[in-house]
Structure 1
Amino acid sequence: MIAALIQKAVARFRGDETGGVLIIFGAALPALLMGAGVVIDYGILSEQRTAFQAAADASALAAAREFRLANANPTTVQSVAEKFAATSLKAVNHSGTIAASVDLKKMTVTVEINTIAKTNIMHLFGSEMVAVGARATARVLGSAAICVIGLEQNKNETIYLEKDAKLEAPECAVYSNSKKAEGLKAKQNSSIRARFICSAGGSYKDKYDSFSPSPTLDCPVLTDPLASRAPPPTGGCSATDLKVTTSMTLSPGTYCGGIRISKMVVVNLNPGIYVFKDGPLDVSGGASLKGANVGIYLNGKGAVIRFDTDTKIDLTAPKDGVLAGILFYEDRNSPINQKHEVLSNDAKVLLGTLYLPQGELNIGATKPVAAESAYTIVVARRFTLSAGPTMVLNAKYASTNIPVPDGVGPGSTAAHLAR
């Protein structure tokens, strides 16, 4: 394109018989060519540097995740970084000198990629070689498995406790993505106890509340670890606006308008996936809901869970299939900030991952929730505890055959770019 423009300019000036114009153009031509060369070479070198930066970022993150392994040492972590970077560069037809360094005390990995590139046009004007390089540092925050992520970044109280509420996660990590000053908040004699507590913004508690340990603040925001997890398929309506008032066993299917269970009945769910389309899973009136290896897919307006105070809930996630390890899966296109409520005082087993990326999970029971689950993981837009509940997030991953989704639980040590 640039060459074509220059050719047009030359043709135009050749047609001009004014000698002065030709003299001026002749004097300006080297500068024009140099300018064109700068533009062309800059584009090529910029693309190369972008490729270097992408490789440095990815390799630093990959190597930093090696810190979660018990046998991690500087040599093995460095080797992972350099091999990953070399593979990444080869995939995009680039090459360069790769150097990685590891700081075990700071839990960081730094990767540098450099080369001396030959210019395509600028060498005609004396600038034959140009240095191109990129650098990335990744660090690990905490060494515990992640069992809570509050995804909301732009509002206060992404994780919020009040009125004697307790979040017990002694073997795993709690993260709030909120960048606000009170993104992580506890008041009225509430507490969080975890292996590690992290907030992308600030935290707030009054003199009667406690965080143990004290939160690490200004943490990097965690990406949704399940963002690439595909939703289950949906079919035609198995039932519409179903109201259950007699004890029965239900089978997997699509329940349009939801299911409402009440009047002291006992409902058993056969293994499989239950789709709630534009309606709730509502259990009230002393009813019981039990299901082993079930996945509950919440899709659309009003597709929420609500377990009332006097109900009994006992649910475990699938062992395999599209929702393996996921007990509740909220569709990412559902309305924002719909509230999912666990008020049941007999919800000892909620085994699996509660994935509610658009909604708020509110725990409002007065007795411990999920205390008898091998593990429970919460990934929600907001996570709130009110009216004196205790939410127990066990991390006994090896004691169950229900898998933990990639990105959370064991092996989810959070590595972040810190360059």
Structure 2
Amino acid sequence: MSERACGRRGRSFGRDRKGSILAILGVALPVLVMLAFGTVEYGTLLHRRATLQTAVDEGVLAAGNMLKLANTLDPVVIAAATHVIAQRAATPPDRSATISVRVLDRRTSVEAQVEETVPSLMGRLMNLPNTTIVVQAKSQLVGALRLCLLALDDQTRDAFLLQKSAQVTATTCSLYSNSRHASGLAGRHDATARAASICSAGGFDGSKASFQPSPVTGCPSLGDPLKDRAPPRAETCISVPAWLNPKGQAGNTVTESGSLDPGTYCGGLTVTDTAVVTLRPGIYVIKDGPLLVTKSASISGQGVGFYFMGNRGGMLLGKKTTISLTAPVSGPMAGLLMMEERTVVDPRPLAVDLTEALPPPPAPVEAPPMREYRIISDNARTMLGTIYLPAGRLIIDSSKPVADQSAYTVIVARMIHLYEGPNLVLNADYAGTSVPVPPGVGPRTGTIALAR
């Protein structure tokens, strides 16, 4: 080959860029692929971290709200947070996650942390280690929630029920149903409930009701906050003085105005006609019969507690009656306006003249028989204290406000049913009275603050 030909070939090779481009691509392509994978993986990790952070935030807030309830145990609080976090995080099966929750600061805060190991796509290609995401959050109870109503039945439909325009107003305290039934908490026919918080261990049936705020479902069961409260003792039976029953009606019946002494009233106690009765301070044991206030009768008393015993126990406060009662400030029923024997073998329905009362509401679905305590009175505005009926059904079907003039009212009953159109007002002004709040309910209120 001539020198001139060699020169032309050399210049042609120098002008051909194909070989150099292929060489550059061979070096750069792996880098570009790694950058693309890295960008995708970084975005995926950021999104996963945000998801986990949201789960932890919601978990500690849910648990923090449980701290508002004075009788909630630490394991229940921890279980609530763990359940919410696990549900919201939804960790895929190819990953491992650890959830740790602690109750701190004398039960005023909840701290949670999640560690999740995320397999790396690049790690699979290049044998790199996996990535561990760690997120945490803490909720703090600021202030101190008030439990003002608790339906204890843990499995029955409509354990706490409002219907026919019934209302509950409890803007500074909480409403709670322990029933795990899908309709354990129910509001029907334009019923209304307003509270600081509303919680159901099961579900909520309220398509035609207005509950504010919306009830939280799937809450842990609280149990009976007053289960360790010792009952008063029944003493020797006493009778209504003859001058309070000049018509000679059977049993412990009061038909004339006057004062009544505390004691054990065997066979029950009836106040009727136009009698205006003042109850002297003390404990009234209503044994083997109901407490009946009917027609246009009136009862009032300060420092008064009722204890119901026997299968025939129960209560009816008639529509035209006037009721004004305040619980004792000391003694075995301090803070308790009403309490019943915890066990009942064969409860009997109230035997009352239906001309004095609305027809009884239907029996609860799938529920065993129980004592019934019925408030129909349109003038029962002072009922200050705690109503504790662990084996009973409280029925309120008046058409006027109930307990609205009480500094505070707490209700703990097996089942709680409101019919017709009452407005049950549950105040929580504990400082406005000398009547103590039984330990396990009341005054633990506040707001939950979130910190990370």
Question: Which residue matches 1:256?
Answer: 266
Residue of structure 1 equivalent to 2:23: none
Q: Does 1:321 align with 2:343?
A: no
Give yes or no for the alignment of 1:147 onto 2:148: yes
Runs of 4+ displaced beyond 4 Å: 63-69, 99-103, 137-140
How far apart are residue 301 of structure 1 and its match?
Answer: 1.4
Counterpart check, 1:108 vs 2:118: no
Pairs within 5 Å for 1:17-36: none
Q: Secondary structure at the match of 2:401?
A: coil
Evaluate the alpha carbon distance shift between residue 139 and residue 380 of structure 1 in structure 2; reply closer, same or farther with a 3 A threshold: farther
Task: Measure, in 1, the Cα distance between the counterparts of 2:228 and 2:334.
Answer: 14
Q: CA deviation at 1:108?
A: 2.5
CA distance in structure 1 between the partners assigned to 2:170 and 2:235 by the alignment: 38
The verdict on how the C-alpha distance between 1:301 and 1:307 changes in structure 2, with shifts beyond 3 A counting, is same
Pair member with larger Rg: 2
The answer to whether the aligner puts 1:204 opposite 2:205 as a matched pair is yes
Q: Distance in 1 between matches of 2:189 and 2:285?
A: 38
Tell me the amino acid that sits aligned with residue 417 of structure 2: T
CA distance, structure 1, for counterparts of residue 67 and residue 412 of structure 2: 23
Q: CA deviation digits over 1:347-390, x for unaligned, max 9?
A: 01000000000011011110000000000000000001001111
Q: Which residue of 1 aligns with 2:227?
A: 227
Percent of residue pairs bearing the same amino acid type: 43
Amino acid in the other structure paired with 1:333 = T
What SS is found at the alignment partner of 2:427? coil
Deviations 1:88-126 (A, max 9, x none): xxxxxxxxxxx95759xx953579xxxxxxxxxxxxxxx
Given the superposition, is the C-alpha separation of residues 272 and 138 from structure 1 closer, same or farther in structure 2, using an over 3 Å criterion?
Answer: farther
Q: Name the structure 1 match of 2:310.
A: 300
Between the aligned partners of 2:261 and 2:268, the Cα distance in structure 1 is: 14
Alignment correspondent of 2:215: 215
Please give the secondary structure, in 1, of the residue aligned with 2:216.
Answer: coil
Which residue of the partner structure matches residue 401 of structure 1? 434
Distance 1:410 1:233 in 2: 28
Query: Scaled by the length of structure 1, what TM-score is found?
Result: 0.66
DSSP-derived class of the 1:194 partner: strand
SS in 2 for 1:398: helix
TM-score in terms of structure 2 length: 0.61
- How many residues matched? 296
Question: Would the aligned equivalents of 1:64 and 1:109 in 2 still touch at CA under 8 Å?
Answer: no
SS at match of 2:431: helix
Match of 1:237 in 2: 237
- Structure 1 letter corresponding to 2:342: R
Name 1:183's counterpart in structure 2.
184
1:290 paired with 2:300, answer yes
1:356-395 paired onto structure 2 within 5 Å:
356-395=389-428
Partner deviation per Cα, 1:117-136 (whole Å, 9 max, x = no partner) = xxxxxxxxxxxxxxxxxxxx
Q: Does 1:271 align with 2:281?
A: yes
Structure having the larger proportion of residues in strand: 1
Q: Distance in 2 between matches of 1:65 and 1:385?
A: 26
Aligned-pair CA distance for 1:238: 0.7
Aligned-residue Cα RMSD (Å) equals: 3.1
1:151, 1:258 → 2: CA distance? 26
Q: Does the residue aligned with 1:360 lie in a helix, a strand or coil?
A: strand
* Structure 1 residues 47-91: Cα deviation after superposition (integer angstroms, max 9, x where no partner): xxxxxxxxxxxxxxxx9899669xxxxxxxxxxxxxxxxxxxxxx
Give 1:55-70 correspondences, 5 Å limit. Answer: none
Report the CA distance shift for 1:138/1:273 in structure 2 as closer, same or farther (over 3 A).
farther
1:219 match: secondary structure = coil
8 Å CA contact 1:102–1:110 kept in 2: the answer is no
